Amino acid sequence: MKRFLFSVATMVAVSMGLVGCNGTQNNIPQEITNDEVILHAWSWSFNTVAENMHLIAEAGYDMVQTSPAQTCFVGEDGGMALFSAEGDSVRGKWYYYYQPIDWKIGNYMLGSRNEFKAMCDSARKYGVRVIVDVLPNHVAIDHTAVTAALDSVVGGHENLFHANGFTDITQWNDRYECTTGMMGKLPDVNTENPDFQYYYMKYVNDLIACGARGFRYDTAKHIGLPSDPTDEKSERNNFWDIATGREAIKDITLLYPDSLFIYGEVLQDRNVKELEYAEYMDLTASNYGGALRNALNHHSYHADNLAEWHHPVAANQLVTWVESHDTYCNAHESAGMSDELIRQGYVFLTARQHGTPLFYSRPAGSTRDNYWGNNRVGERGNDEFFHPEVVAAIAFRKAMSGYAEQVVATDNGAVIEVMRGNKGIALINISEEAQTIALTTTLPNGTYTDKVHNTTFTVADGNISGELAPLASYIIY
């Protein structure tokens, strides 16, 4: 699992007062940094991911995250629509792969075990790591669809669930309800049952054996921590110790734990134990995503507090996003934002020193009037993941590795400048109007041409001046 420690050089810099309150150092490379980026290939089939692996690698992504790979409930006669309404000619819902009926690789929506392995082989060829979305917390709403094999290994159907597993969560900030109760009519699995743990870890290790090199844990905050109250069927909450390789279960231990990238969907709220979860894995920066969307929607950096990460966990242990598949698909809280606006937010996150940015791939053909676009599970998302501004931001992130950030904005908040030491900057216009700027900068005096639009900027006496098109970003280094 990814872990970062302060280097001796950084501690010396702190002790000498070379690190400012905004986290910058006086052009001294800083050892703590996040360089990697994730493409969330949402609802792409394993074959589609494999077919596009060259493009993913060329764009600069280090990791590609798949949707859930385990056996799932077959909904609406196996229809492959992302989302269908009554009367549609093609039926289906994207979220059926979030309804497990067994933990074996392969489902009707994304592909077989052999196709999963072929995708991982392709990723290895191009130097990309595969992250799999895993969900041990619950089964399908129709729990009678659970396979006989799964029921058998846990000693009977009733042993698959917490004693409280069919009780709806009503108090989301009550840790007992949150970690043992039923969420959205999805019966809660007894993740502390040793027989289930053994079966689940065989699935995880099979994913790794096929080539997976990381996991996103769905609904992670609904799986108990050691300090949480236990279900009456459980002796102790040890799932995370087993899932992250700290403990063995029977004769199985997590394969290659030190080489895996693991993060959990721990959505922030009251009484969420982020610091304890962070002892096991990286976490989603959900509140920061909300703050960023608020600033973008107001077309002003000053509309929210983007200087703070809105999280008690260190920024280098956060997965950041402008939007996730949940913010896009569920309440559509981000789906109304234009591709161009989302892109500027992503460039901002990617240009920053910390956090691991995740780019969510929206459906191909989607518009602000038609969120589902071509409305087909398995197909590639739209072209935004390899837009030139996105690709340039990823290249900038890697070129600026080790250099501390400083972030400033114009008085009207329309243009954000992310400076990395005195080596490079990103200029991001989040407004729908052209902007003329004169901003302080760390770049040396000179004339610069950005990497995307070939636009010229001038630096003199510590200020950069130039013209920015609406909803456009410029990379200079």
User: What residues act catalytically?
Assistant: 218, 265
Q: Which token pair is 430?
A: 């989040």
Q: Which token pair is 105?
A: 């690789």
Residue 266 contacts residue 277 (beta carbons within 8 Å)? yes
> In sequence order, which ranges of 359-473 are alpha helices (DSSP H)?
388-399
Residue 373 contacts residue 363 (beta carbons within 8 Å)? yes
Q: Which token pair is 361?
A: 């791939």
d(CA 99, CA 122): 27
Q: DSSP strand E in 265-349: where?
A: 282-284, 318-320
Bridge-based pairing of strands 456-460 and 463-468 is: antiparallel
H or E segment at 343? helix 339-351
Q: Which token pair is 339?
A: 């591709």
Bridge-based pairing of strands 212-217 and 70-72 is: unpaired
DSSP string, 344-376: HHHHHHHHSSSSEEEEE-PBTT--SS-TTTT--
Q: Would you put residue 461 in left (φ > 0), alpha (ψ -120 to 50) or beta?
A: left
Handedness of CA 393, 441, 438, 349 (dihedral sign): positive
